[in-house]
Structure 1
Amino acid sequence: MKWFLILIFLFFICCESITKRKNKFPDDGPVSVSRYEVSDGAILSVDPEMGGNGFEEIADDLGFVTSSFYDPYESQKAVKGGVFRFPIFQYPKTLSPIGKDSFWEVSVYLNSLVFETLLVKDPSLEGGYCPSLASHWKIDNEKGKYTFRIDPLARWSDGSRVTAEDVKFSLELIKNPKTESLFENNFFKEFSAKIISPYIIEITTSNKNWRSFSKISTFMYILQKREIEKNSIDTFIYRYKNCQPVGSGPYIINPFNINEGKSFEFRRRKDYWGYKKGFWEKTGNFDKIELKVFQSDFICKDSFKHDNIDILPVPRTDWWKSEFDRENPSLSFSCLKRGVVKKRKVFNNLPKSSFRIDLNTRVKPLDNIEVRKAIAHLFNREYIIDKLFNNEYTPTPSIYVSGEYASKNITPVKYNFHLADSLLKRNGWNMVDGFRVKDGKRFSISILESEYSSKFVSFFKNDLKKAGIDLKIESVDRDEISDRVYSKSFDMVVSYWKNTDIPSPGFFLHSSTSDIENTNNITGFKSSYVDSLIELYNEEYDFKNRKRYIQQIDEEYYNQYHSIMGWYSSYSERILYWDRFGTPKNILGFDGDYYSSLYFWWADKSKEKLVNKAIKNENIIFDLGDENSYFSQ
C-alpha cells in the first residue's frame, strides 16, 4: 500500500503543470503551452561582452565563432501542417532525455524533437558545427576549455528564458548517480562548468581530446533548472517516466493523449523560438505526429495495409520480394500495384549496420574462447543468406561492416563442422548419445530472438544439434529482449547493431563497462589491450592514426569471438509509404533511416485528396516511380 501511494504521488508531481491547464490541445494546428511573457532579446542589464545585446558586433574580437545553419538535404517546397502516423516498435522506457534508459534508440530519435543541445553538427560540412541553444562558441584545446554564449532569443516551451544556469544544472544532473545511468555519468564526468554571466558559460574538460568538444556541445540535452529543482532529484527517473520535462525544441508531447505502452503524440509548437533564427524552417513540418507502438512486425504490416499508419519499414526479404512485389502484390493490396503506395529501397550514406549473434561471456561455457569459436563455425550464414534471404544481404566481415574503419586483415569465419568438433573435443565436450557432455553435464544454451529472426535461428538450432549442442529458443518481444540484455540475463541474443559515422568503441568495448548493467557492453568484453587502444584513439587528433586504432580494435574483438557475425545490406532502408506526402529529392536525406521522414517530409493536401479517392476507386493509377532511390548531391 505504501508503494502504491508513492506511485500516485509521483504521478501527480509529474503531471502538476499539466493539470493546471484547463483545456486540451485543439485537434488540429500547432499549439502553445507558454505561461510566461518575457521581452525579446537579452536581459537589458547584461553587458555586450557578457553575451547581452550588442554581443554579435564584438564576438570576433572576443575570439568567438558562429555559423549559419543550412541543411542541403531539406526541400524548399516543404510546408507546415498536417498529420503523420508513424510506427515505433518499443514504447520508450522513459520520456526523459537524461537518465536511465534515455539512450535507447527510439528515445534518442524522439527526444531530438523536444529538447536541444548547445550546438548541432553541420550537415553540409564534415567536422563543422551550427548554432542551436548557443549562438557562438570559443574553443581552447590547449587548456581544455570551451566557452559558449547562450542565444538570448532561446526560450523554454513555457515562455521563460534559457540561461547558462540551465546548462550548468543539466551537466550536474547528467553526472549525478541518482539518474541511474552509469553510461551517462561516466561519459560526462570529465566536464565541469563555470557560469560567467546569464549567457556565457565556460566548460572545462579534465580529459583533453578531439572528442571532448563534440561530446559536450552536441550530446547533452539542456533541461530547465527551475522545473527539475522544484522536486527532489531522488524522484527524477520516476517523475519523467511517462511525461516529459519542459523542453526548448519545436515539438511537445501531448500530455492529454498518452496511452502508455500503446501510443502517444507530438504536437508542433507555434511559438518555438528557433523559427526566428531560421531553425527547423523546412524540417519538422507536421503539426501532429501520432506514434503507434507495435510489438509485432506482422500487426504493423496489417495496420499499414489498412491505412492506419503512413509508413512501413520492411524488415523481411520475403515480404519485400513476394507480398510487396509491385507487379504482383498480394490480392488485398492493389494500392501498391497502382502506385497509391510507394515502394522504395533507399541508398544513401547511412553507416552500415548489421545483424549478428552476441554471446554473453559471463556465463559458462561461453567464457571459453575455443567454445565460442566452435559455435561461430557452426553458424552457416552463407547458406542462410542464400536460402532464406535470396542473396539480398552480404556477409558481415567486421564489427564496422564495410566502411573505412573496418580492418582488411580479418579472415571471415565460415561454417566448418570438423573444426568445431575438434575444438569442442579439445575442451572436454565429447559426444554421448547424440549430445555434447562434459563432467556429466549436457551442453545446453539458450538464445533470445524475435519473430523476425525465427527462421534463421531454427537453421542455427539444427546445425548445433548435429554437433550435439542443445539450443533452447526463447521467443520474446522487444521489450523483454532489451530488459534482459541490459541486465545481462541471457546466453545468446540476436542483435541488430547500428553503426555511427564516428566510432565510439569505449561505449561497448571498454573493460570498465563490462559488468555494469544498462551499458552497451552486452557480451562482457574485457581487454587491457583494447582499453589502451581506446585511450590512444580518444587522444589522437590525426584521422589516419585514429582509423588505424579502430581497425586494430576491430581485429581483436573479432578474434575473441564475442559475436557471431551475420550480414548487412547494401541499401540503407526498405520502406513503403502512402503517397500523400511531399518528400525531398533524397527522401531520407544524406544519411537518414526511416525516422528521417519525421524531419524531412511534409503533408501535401492535394496528394491527400487524391490518395483518399484512389483507395475507394481502383481505376485511379499513380506513377510508380523508381523502386530504388539513390542519394545524389
Structure 2
Amino acid sequence: MPRGNPRQRSTLAQQTVVSRCNVLRGDMQKLLQGALLWTAMTVAHAGVPTVHGLSLYDQPALPADFTHFPYVNPDAPKGGTLTRSVVGSFDSTNPMIILGTAARGMSYLGSSLVYDTLLTEDADEPFSGYGLVASGIRLDASRRWVEFDINPAARFSDGHPLTAQDVKFSFELLRSSGMPLYRSYYADVVSVTLPQPNTIRFDFAPHNSRELPLILGQFPILPQHIWQRREFTKPTLQIPVGSGPYRLIAVNPGARVIYQRNEDYWARDLPVNRGRFNPQRIIYDYYRDDSVALEAFLAGQVDYRLESSAARWENDYRGPAMQSGAIRKITLARGNPAALAAWVLNLRRPLFQDRRLREALNLAFDFDTINRLFFYGSYQRTASFFDESEMAASALPSGKEREILASLGDSIPTSIMHTPLPSDNMADGRQRLAQALEILMTAGYTLHKNQLFTPAGRPVNFELLISDGRLQRAALPYLKNLSRIGIHAGIKLIDNAQYQVRLRHYDYDAIYDTFGQSNSPGNEQRYYWKSEYADVPHSHNTPGIRNPAVDSLVEILIRADSRDLLVASARALDRVLRFNHYLVPLYHASGIHFAYWQQVKMPRKSPRYGIDMDAWWIDPNAQ
C-alpha cells in the first residue's frame, strides 16, 4: 500500500487496534464456548458410570474382573503354523474400500489379525461388546451418546501410540471414503468429538438404533500417521501398519499371504485375548480350484478346511490319513440364523418388476430333486430371511407383528394379512410348475411354441451370471425346470475380476448371493434392503429393492427397544420380503462342516452363538 496522509495512517492504526480487540474477543468467546462445552459434558457424565462392556438389552454376562471368555482354553499353547486354503485370488491389503479384492485375514468390520477395534464380542452371548482398545465405556441412559476411554497402553505395530485422534480419524475416513456400508451402518452418528485427550465421544440422532453403541466398537482403527499420507480409495499391496495380534509379513498375490504373531502386541494379556490368537504363524494359500485345495488338504499341506459341499463331505474325504484318524471331521452348530443363499433377481430390469413372475420363478425351483441328487438329502430348504431362528415369520401374522404390519397402512397390500407364507410344502415339482404356469396365465402371460411372453408381448428370457463354476450344478436343474414353462435362461460364467465390475454396476439379470444374519439384526438391514441403497455401488441391496414398507420395517427393527419388539419387527420384515418374492431362496446345511488334521486343537466347549476359530491352537506335540 502506498503511503497515505497522516489521517489515513491514523485510521489504519485505529482499524488495527479494533481488529486486535476483535481477535481477543473471539478468542475469549472460543474459550468460553469450550468451557461451557466441557461443563455440559461434565454434567452429562454425572451419574453415568464407566463400565467394562455393553450388551444390547441387559447387562453383559461377564463381570468387570473376568479373566477370559468362558469357552476358551486360557492355557492354550502358543506357537506352530496354521495353514488355511482360499479359492480365488486377491489384489489388495485394504478390505475397507469398494475397489479390489482383499487378502484373507483382513476384515472391514470386527477385530481381525491386523487391526484392533474399540470392543470385541463374546461369542457365548447373543450380542455384547467388551473393551479392547477401549479401557472404559460410558453410555448415556437414554442412549444419546457414548464415550470410550482409549487404553493408554495401546500401540500400533510400528510403536506409535494409538490415540483417540486415531479412532476419530479412522471413523471419519471410513464413513467418507470407505465402502458404502460404513455410511449406512453409522448413519445415526451426528458428531464425533474428543472431550479429553484420550477419550472419544459419539453423539447420536434422536430415535437411533439400540445397537449403535455396540457396533461403534466394530470398525478397524487405522494409524493416522500412515494413512494421512496415502491414497485410501485405491487398492494397495503395501504391508499395513496395524494394532492387532499379528503382522502381515509376506504378500504374494494369487499365491499366499503370511501373518506372524506380534510378540510386542500391546493387548496380548487382556482378558478378551487370553487363550486366543495362539499360532505363531497363519498362512493362507490360494488355489484356483476347490478340488485342488481339497487335495492339498488331504496331502497335509493345509491344516483345516471348512466344507460347503455335501457331496464332497460324503464322498471325497478318503485315504490313509482319514483311516488312521490323522484327519478328523466334525459338524458344529451354527449358533446364528442360517445365511440366506439365493438366486437374486435384479429388479432394476423391467422384466422382474412383476411380482407374479417372481412368484412363478420361486415355484420353479425344485429343491427336493436337487437335495436328493446332489446333497444326499442332508440340506434344508431355506424359506425365511432369518431361517432357524425365532425371527422367522410363520403361519399368519398375529400379536405385535400384526400391529406393526397394520401400522404401515396402504404401503402394504391387505392380502398380506391373510395370505399364507410362500412354502415348499408341495414336494411334487410338477405341481409346483403347474401352479407357476397358472399364476402366469392368469396374469396375462402367453405361451407360444414353448416360449413364454409377457402381457406386452416380450419373451421371458434372462441370464444367470456367476463367477464360481460349482454353482452350475444347482443352476442347471433350475433352468431346465424354467424351460418347461417357456422361460429360457442361460448361465454365463466369468472370472471374478469381471464379475466384480459387473456387480458394482448392477449389470446382470440374476446372480447368486448370500445374506448373513445374526441373532440381533440391526443397522446392516439398511444396507441389505432399503431403497436408498438400491443404486449405491457395492451395496448389498443386490436385488435393487425399493419398497416404502420395507424401508419403514427396517427402521422399526433398528430402533426396537426390547427383544420382543425386535423379534416381532423382524418377523414383519421377513413376511413382507417373502411376500414379494425378491429372491429365489435356495438351501443350507444343518451345521458347519469342518475337517482338520490332528495337530489342530479347539476348546472342549463351543460358544453358543458362533464359532471362534481365534481360540484354536496347534498342538506342539502333534506336528
TM category (shorter chain) comes to 0.7 to 0.9
**Corresponding residue for 1:149?**
149
Deviation readout 1:65-98 (Å, 9 max, x if unpaired): 2234521111134111111111123445642253
The equivalent position to 2:305 in structure 1, one of 286, 300, 312, is 312
Q: Deviations over 1:559-598 (max 9, x none)?
A: 1111112222221x11211112222114x644445xx43x
The reply on whether 1:538 has 2:549 as its aligned counterpart is no
Give the one of 575, 584, 607 matched to 2:594.
Answer: 575
**Corresponding position: 1:466 with 2:477:** no
Match of 2:536 in 1: 516
1:348–1:589 Cα contact (<8 Å) kept = no
Helix, strand or coil: the match of 2:232?
A: helix
The one-letter amino acid of 2:203's match is T
Contact 1:97–1:111 at 8 Å: present in 2 too?
A: no
Bigger Cα displacement from structure 2, 269-278 vs 141-150: 141-150
Q: Name 1:430's counterpart in structure 2.
A: 446
Aligned mates of 2:609, 2:496 — CA distance in 1 = 25
Task: Give distance in 2, aligned partners of 1:122 and 1:320.
Answer: 30
The alignment partner of 2:113 has SS state of: helix
> Is 1:237 aligned to 2:233, yes or no?
yes
Which stretch has the larger CA shift, 263-272 or 220-229? 220-229
Counterpart of 1:277 in 2: which secondary structure?
coil
1:440 Cα shift? 5.9
- TM-superposed CA distance for 1:385, in Å, is 1.4
Residue in structure 2 matched with residue 421 of structure 1 by the alignment = 437
Q: Tell me how far 1:336 sits from its aligned partner.
A: 0.7
d(CA) in 1 for partners of 2:51 and 2:110? 29
State the distance in 1 between where 2:344 and 2:607 align.
31
Aligned residues of 2:446 and 2:453 also touching (Cα < 8 A) = yes
Aligned match of 1:370: 356
Kindly provide the CA deviation profile for residues 308-360 of structure 1, in whole angstroms up to 9, marking residues without a partner as x.
Answer: 21112222222222222xxxx3xxx2211111111112225243224321111
Aligned to 1:253: 248
Larger radius of gyration: 2
Pair 314,128 (structure 1): closer, same or farther in 2 beyond 3 Å: closer
Say yes or no: does 1:222 pair with 2:238: no
Letter in 2 for 1:421: L
Residue from 443, 462, 477 that aligns with 2:460: 443
The C-alpha deviation readout for 1:272-294, integer Å capped at 9, x for no partner, is 00124344231111111111123
Alpha-carbon distance in 1 for matches of 2:98, 2:533: 15
Partners in 2 of 1:592 and 1:548 — Cα distance? 23
RMSD: 2.6
- The partner residue of 2:385 within 387, 399, 402 is 399
1:165 partnered with 2:165: yes
Check whether the contact 2:550–2:573 (CA below 8 A) recurs between aligned residues: yes
Q: Is the 8 A contact 1:155 1:248 kept in 2?
A: yes
Output the amino acid matched with 1:247. Answer: G
Q: Distance in 2 between matches of 1:358 and 1:110?
A: 27
- What is aligned with 1:119? 119
Deviations 1:476-534 (A, max 9, x none): 45555444334312111223332222213222011111121101100011111121122
Q: Which residue of 1 aligns with 2:423?
A: 412
Which residue does the alignment assign to 1:267? 260
Give 1:28-39 correspondences, 5 Å limit. Answer: none
Hey, what's the Cα distance between the residues in 2 that align with 1:143 and 1:402?
31
Give the direction of change, closer, same or farther, for the CA distance of 1:184–1:606 in structure 2 (3 Å limit). same
State which drifts further: 333-342 or 121-130. Answer: 121-130
Q: Is the 8 A contact 2:278 2:617 kept in 1?
A: yes
CA deviations on 1:417-449 (whole Å, 9 max, x unpaired) are 222223333445422222223566432211134
- Aligned residues of 1:96 and 1:244 also touching (Cα < 8 A): no
Q: Is residue 264–residue 292 contact of structure 1 (8 Å, CA) maintained in 2? A: yes
Separation in 1, partners of 2:338, 2:435: 30
Cα distance change, pair 511–440 in 1 and its aligned pair in 2 (3 A) = closer
For 2:102 and 2:534, how far apart are their aligned partners in 1?
A: 18
Deviations 1:124-151 (A, max 9, x none): 5544431111100111143611111111
Alpha-carbon shift at residue 456 of structure 1 (Å) = 2.0
Query: Are 1:78 and 1:582, in contact at CA under 8 Å, matched by a contact in 2?
Result: no
Residue correspondence of structure 1 range 552-571 to structure 2 within 5 A? 552-571=572-591
User: What residue is the counterpart of 2:616 in the other structure?
Assistant: 601
Q: Distance in 1 between matches of 2:170 and 2:49?
A: 25
Q: 1:388-415 CA distances to partner (integer Å, 9 max, x unpaired)?
A: 2121011112111120110013231554
Counterpart in the other structure of 1:277: 270
Q: Secondary structure at the match of 1:555?
A: helix
Structure 1 CA distance, aligned partners of 2:123 and 2:309? 31
* Change over 3 Å in CA distance of 1:352–1:604 after alignment to 2: same
Cα distance change, pair 440–526 in 1 and its aligned pair in 2 (3 A)? closer
**Aligned residues, how many?**
530
Residues 203-242 of structure 1: per-residue CA shift (max 9 Å, x gap): 11124331221121x22221111111234xxx2122x532
SS of residue in 2 equivalent to 1:564? strand
Give the Cα separation in 2 of the matches to 1:554 and 1:498: 14
Alignment of 1:185-196 (within 5 A): 185-191=183-189, 192-196=191-195
- In the alignment, is the contact (CA less than 8 A) between 1:137 and 1:148 conserved in 2? yes
Shift of 1:463: 0.8
The residue type paired with residue 367 of structure 1 is Q
Match for residue 73 of structure 1 among 68, 71, 76: 71
Q: Partner letter of residue 622 of structure 2?
A: K
Question: Partner letter of residue 446 of structure 1?
Answer: E
Return the TM-score normalized by structure 2.
0.80
The structure-2 alpha-carbon separation of the partners of 1:440 and 1:354, relative to structure 1 and needing over 3 Å to count, comes to closer
- 1:358 pairs with 302, 325, 344, which one? 344
**TM-score under structure 1 normalisation?**
0.78
Pick closer, same or farther for the CA change 1:93–1:399 going to 2, 3 Å: farther
Equivalent residues of 1:342, 1:579 under 8 A apart: yes
Counterparts of 2:103 and 2:92, CA distance in 1: 12
Alignment correspondent of 2:135: 135
Tell me, yes or no, if the aligned pair for 1:514 and 1:526 is still in contact at 8 Å: yes
Deviation sequence 1:92-118 (CA, Å, 0-9, x none): 564225332699895438961111111
For residues 310 and 242 of structure 1, the distance between their equivalents in structure 2, rounded to whole angstroms, comes to: 26
Q: Aligned in 2, Cα 1:202/1:287: closer, same or farther, shift over 3 Å?
A: same
Q: State the partner residue of 1:55.
A: none
* Equivalent-residue separation in structure 2 for 1:102 and 1:145 (angstroms): 35
User: 1:309, 1:213 → 2: CA distance?
Assistant: 39
Corresponding residue SS for 2:568: helix
User: Any idea what SS the aligned residue of 1:460 has?
Assistant: helix
* Greater mean alpha carbon deviation, residues 475-484 or residues 145-154: 475-484
Q: 1:140 to 1:79 in 2, by over 3 A?
A: same
Separation of aligned partners in 1, 2:316 and 2:228: 54
- Counterpart residue number, 2:330: 344
